[in-house]
Structure 1
Amino acid sequence: MRSFQEKDLFSCCGQPVNIRDAAGLFEDAFITAYRLLHLERTTPNPLYCSASKCSAFIVPSAIKGTIGKCSQCNKKTCRFCRKGEHKGICTQDMEGQKVRELAKQMGWKECPKCKRIVERRSGCLHMTCKCGGEFCYNCGKLYRECRGTCNRGT
């Protein structure tokens, strides 16, 4: 099957033609490809797979939070920097950077395993993150490295 170009989107009198109106004239594979092309062309700031050998359009429904998952090769792409999935807040995510600054001001810590921001309200300094990473809230090291031997505060 050939690839589509923007000029391939059908219109009549300057209005886009709904593919359902012509569905009986085309094969199902063409209609599916046309709908995907239409979605790609009408999506503001579309996201494409970061795998150089793929570069497929990532449909908006495949974007969860800051990461889009390619339906062609399953590679995950950051919606901010457009590179492969990475830990922590993307440097291109301005709102995320504001959260990181707030965390710094409030004294919150990042999990050394996944870079998720963690706030300690009470209890011991041995933290277990949602990702399963265990670390010392005082020194920030993985808990297996610290084991409570750092110069601990309360």
Structure 2
Amino acid sequence: MSQPRVVIQTQDFELQAEIAALRGQDARVGAVCSFIGTVRDRNDGSAVASMELEHYPGMTEKAIEAMIDEAHRRFDILGARVIHRVGLLQPTDQIMMVAVISAHRGESFQACEFLMDYLKTQAPFWKKEDTPEGARWVDARVADDAALARWGIDAPNA
């Protein structure tokens, strides 16, 4: 049975195991590109003690599945997997992973970056940071919207 392309979970993940599962024994794979996002201890000039991530179950997975479908349309990739954690996370914790496999590195690099830009602005997650000034919701950033725009996708967040 194949692995799901999108997983939303509270527990941590192991990059090597996830890539091994994505690759399987597919001899066509000549490139694997991955990105792992982690919780920083600072954001917008304030210390961050923790971050809590929320999502809308079902809707979030469907939205990310559509992003992976779009990556398949745009790039010659063999597969992709996105894991995103929710719940309470601490600085240095892994938040999410994008992994892409293809025959050649260029396609993997581009598809991975495309998925990251897409996820950053369009995935339905809500992030709340605990700072010395109190809890605050993290807003979308204009820079993230600009990154997505270079792929020809308008982001409504700016």
Say whether the fold is shared (TM-score over 0.5).
Answer: no
TM-score by length of 1: 0.23
Larger proportion of strand:
2
RCO higher in 1 or 2 (8 Å CA, sep ≥ 6)? 2
TM-score by length of 2: 0.23
